[in-house]
Amino acid sequence: MLNVAPGSQSGSGAERFYRGAQVGTNPRDATGVMLSNAAWSLWRHRWVMLLCVLLVPAIAWAGLKQLTPLYTATASVIYEPASYQQQELQSILRPDATSDEVISSQVEVIQGLHSAQRVAEKFDLMENPEFNPTLRPKSTTSAIIEGVTGGVKGGIAFLIRPVFPAAAESLVADSRPPATEDDIRRLVVTLTQQAITAEAVRQSHVIDVSFTSRSRTLSAQIANDLASMYISDQLQMKFDAVRNANKWLEGQAHELQQQVQSNENKIANYRSSQGLTQGVQAGLATEEVSRLSDSLVSARNELAQAEGNVSAAHGRLGTSAQAAVSPSVIALRAQRDAVSAQLQSLLAHLGPNHPTVLAMRQQLGVLSSEVNAETGQVMAASDAAVRSSRAKVAGLEQELRDARERVATAGQAEIPLEAMQRESDASRNLLSTVLGSMQRLAQQAAIEQPDARIVSMALPPGEPSYPKTKVLLPAAVLLGFCIGFLLVYLLELTQSKFRSGHDIRSVLGLNCLAQIPQIDRDKEGVAGMEEYLVQKPFSLGAEQVRSLRAALWLGTSRPKVVAIAAARPGEGKTTTSICLARSASLAGERIVVVECDTRKPSFAKLMGVKEKTGLLEFLSGTATLEDVIHTDKLTNFDYIPAGVAGRSNSHSLFMSENMVMLLERLRRDYDLVVLDLPPVIAMTDARIVASLAESTLLCVRWQTTPRAVAKHCYEMLQDAGANVVGAALTRVNMRAHARSGHTDAEAYHSRYAPYYQH
């Protein structure tokens, strides 16, 4: 008997025991726990995952082997029209642009129907079964489908022929007309066009030209031919455009030449009729006005120069102007000024009467006379030149006035002539423009080049482009993983059994107080768990039973009457009752087990004795308490079997005063009273007896008891007023549970083997 003081803890013993052993559940650990559960779920269903990962790629590989490989060869061309010619020689029929729209247009040209037609004709694809389906032999599948379809049609026609003969004949008749050569050619061209692919490389002007075929060589040949065809078509298109433009310009030039000739004839006839004589550049009157104007300007310039000479002669201009009039006067004046300066110097040193001074004065007088004489001659010549220039200017002004009067008179007749002249000039300018365009076209044609060039030629591909085995097989492996994950998730989602204490808590809301293992009887050489814990009291199973007893013992209100219940037979409740009793008895407690399953008693078999008088006899009054209490031979705990009396009306016996008195007596005489109940769902007795117990323990069989059944059992016990304090997971496969990854499977790990006796 345990004599430890209860202490001051609050709550039931089972709840406190579980809280003490429970791992912290703060939010920071939630993610780790969830990932751990997911990982262990995958481990539990690893064979499902392995099957999916192997099977899906195997199916994909087998399917890929059935497909006909296709090879794609690619040639590259670059579209750069601005790099071949100067701006003034650009084609007059297209802009110099490499925008995305232009590149997209070139792509469509390459993979257009016209290209497909030329390729089909050049490579004689009409005779190639790959592109001409009519040349292909019928596959076995097609033959079977056609045969089945024909058979079905024939059967239907046979059935409806007596009633609808016309419909029966039309049904069996071939409704499809035979394909004509044009139909086959269109089909070949369509399939060829589908095999052509042109794609612009991003951020560049490069266009990849590809062709897909079953033949490596054919795909490379056609890809190169498409690129070359595109280049040659561009150049031919330019030549055609230049030729057409030149032809049109020649026609325009011929028309303009005729028009210019006609305008010139019309102008000549008008001049002749109006008497408008044409000079070198204009009419004679106009040319005379121009000539007189020029002469008048020249005469006025001469007059101004003559007047300037007169002013210089009179000394009204500067020295430079005087020099221009008469250099001799300027020279004499300079000589006079030099002698005068020398005279002044001699006067200061020698005096006025010195002979040298007197000679110098005489020389100065001579020079002054020469200057005055020369100046007079210049002034006379200048005055004569001024008079002559003024007379000439006056005459020219009069002639200019007369000429302008004549021009004004002839101007009215020249107005229509000017209009005809402007028309003729416009035609002549347009003719010059057209002739210039023709010259530029001739230069353009001489150096014209295509707007694109081949960057790289296509080579026969080494690997097929379809099917993409290197991509599809890894994708199949990934798909296998995804399918495996989905199947594992569905298996976990549809799991209807209890696999751990966590399942019990999540479904029933009860704490799992212990996990009683399933013992291999043949391997261990024992009758069951109830005998195993006696032989090996320090084993893992014995420790789990002690854990159950500790959970019931701890707490402020320790129950003395505990009912062991289960939803169905074979859940391990009787084994749990005996194990609990033997474990407590080995610990020195006084314990009694009462078998309450009167319909199907099993104590006698488990204890290895014959049926004896028991509970039914005591409750019916045919035996005393001392008569029905028996002792276990292995551990000396007491037990009361169900008895051998009639089993009808057992529920009334459990509801009698004798049952209440029995429990009071046992509670007083023993430390722990264990009531082994019948299946709760099948027997009403279980709920009656559970309501009389202080605590009830629900046994749930590992991987066997359905969750819905256990939940229904728990609800029935609650409705009966039973105090269900927890649950025990029974008949647990230790090895399988240790590999499951559940947190409560930690105790089964091999690292704890030294703590147990096996």
Q: pLDDT (tens digit, 9 = 90+) per residue, 468-505?
A: 888 888 898 999 889 988 888 887 776 677 878 788 88
In 173-246, where do the E strands start and end?
196-200, 206-213
Query: Does 623 score more than 60 pLDDT?
Result: yes
Q: 249 CB contacts (<8 Å, ≥6 apart)?
A: 434, 437, 438, 441
Query: Does 411 score more than 70 pLDDT?
Result: no
Mean pLDDT (the chain) is 78
How far is Cα of residue 370 from the mean position of the Cα atoms in its chain? 112
Tell me the CA distances in angstroms from 274 to 283, 417, 421, one per residue in order. Answer: 12, 10, 15
* Helix axes of 13-21 and 540-553: crossing angle, nearest 10 degrees: 130
Contact yes or no for 394/388 (Cβ under 8 A)? no
Dmax over CA atoms of the chain, in Å, equals: 202
Q: What is the pLDDT of residue 290?
A: 78
Q: What is the pLDDT of residue 323?
A: 45
Query: Does 314 score more than 70 pLDDT?
Result: no
Contact yes or no for 564/691 (Cβ under 8 A)? no
Mean pLDDT throughout 153-171? 73
Residue tagged 């010549």 (tokens): 381
Give the single-character DSSP code of 509: -
CA atoms of 188 and 752, how far apart (whole Å): 76
Q: What is the pLDDT of residue 6?
A: 35
CA atoms of 645 and 657, how far apart (whole Å): 19
Residue 102 tokens, joined: 């232009």
Q: Does residue 290 or residue 21 have the better pLDDT?
A: 290
Main-chain dihedrals φ then ψ at residue 633, nearest 5 degrees: -75, -30
**Low-confidence winner among 210-224, 260-274, 452-466 (lowest mean pLDDT):** 260-274
Contact yes or no for 515/576 (Cβ under 8 A)? no
Q: pLDDT of 537-548, one tens digit each? A: 878 778 888 888
**Low-confidence winner among 428-432, 534-538, 667-671 (lowest mean pLDDT):** 534-538
Mean pLDDT throughout 677-694? 92
pTM over 0.75: no
Confidence of residue 320 (pLDDT cuts 50, 70, 90): very low
CA atoms of 558 and 561, how far apart (whole Å): 9
CATH code assigned to 13-21+497-750: 3.40.50.300
Residue 203 tokens, joined: 């951020």
Class of residue 505 by CB neighbours under 10 A (exposed 0-12, middle 13-18, buried 19+): middle
Residue tagged 């008179």 (tokens): 409
Confidence of residue 525 (pLDDT cuts 50, 70, 90): low
Q: pLDDT of 330-354, one tens digit each? A: 777 787 778 777 777 777 777 777 7
- What 3-state DSSP class applies to 38? helix
Contact yes or no for 733/515 (Cβ under 8 A)? no
Residue tagged 């399939």 (tokens): 191
> Which of these, 623, 646, 647, 627, lies nearest to 638 by C-alpha position?
627
Residue 68 tokens, joined: 């006909």
Main-chain dihedrals φ then ψ at residue 698, nearest 5 degrees: -95, 125
Query: Does 319 score more than 50 pLDDT?
Result: no
Domain boundaries, the chain: 13-21+497-750, 45-67+468-493, 99-204, 284-452
Q: What is the pLDDT of residue 398?
A: 77
Residue 13 tokens, joined: 């013993």
Conformation bin of residue 608: beta by default, left when phi > 0, alpha when psi is -120 to 50: left
Helix, strand, coil tally for the chain in percent (to 5): 65, 10, 25
CA atoms of 203 and 199, how far apart (whole Å): 12
Mean pLDDT throughout 732-756? 68
> Which of these, 608, 600, 555, lies nearest to 578 by C-alpha position?
608
**Low-confidence winner among 130-139, 200-209, 270-279, 444-453 (lowest mean pLDDT):** 270-279
Q: How many CB atoms lie within 10 A of CB 520?
A: 12
Q: How many CB atoms lie within 10 A of CB 508?
A: 21
Confidence of residue 139 (pLDDT cuts 50, 70, 90): low
Highest mean pLDDT among 127-131, 280-284, 424-428: 127-131
Q: pLDDT of 361-396, one tens digit each? A: 777 777 777 777 777 676 777 777 777 777 877 877
Helix (H) or strand (E) holding 591: strand 591-595
> Which of these, 744, 251, 676, 685, lies nearest to 514 by C-alpha position?
744
Q: pLDDT of 412-454, one tens digit each? A: 667 777 788 888 888 888 888 888 887 777 776 666 677 788 8
